[in-house]
Structure 1
């Protein structure tokens, strides 16, 4: 369970950095934050939600 939380927090940090304009390429930010490039891309496009947002939706 902790591993999923760590992955999600890394992706959230990567998304925040993209939104601030620090990075333009998903591959570069994925390498920097040690997360999956496609996961960052999906989160940016709104195809997936963070664990916290998903829990709020269902409960």
Structure 2
């Protein structure tokens, strides 16, 4: 469970950095925050959400 939280927080940090304009390419942000580029891309496009947001009935 802890690994998923760490992975998700890295993706969140990469997304935040891209949104602030620190990175223009998903690959560079993913490399900097040690996460998967496709996960960053999916999170930015809104294809994946945090578990709490995705299923708020249970959380």
Higher share of residues assigned helix: 1
Mapped partners of 1:51, 1:7: distance in 2: 13
Q: Which residue of 1 aligns with 2:13?
A: 13
How many pairs align?
58
- Shift of residue 6, structure 1, vs aligned partner: 0.1
Please provide the CA RMSD for this pair. Answer: 1.2
Mapped partners of 1:14, 1:52: distance in 2: 19
Unaligned segments of structure 1, at least 5 residues: none
Mapped partners of 1:6, 1:35: distance in 2: 10
Q: How does 1:18-57 map to 2 (within 5 A)?
A: 18-56=18-56
Which structure is higher in RCO with an 8 Å CA cutoff and minimum separation 6? 1
Unaligned segments of structure 2, at least 5 residues: none
Q: Confirm or deny: 8 A CA contact 1:12 1:50 kept in the other structure.
A: no
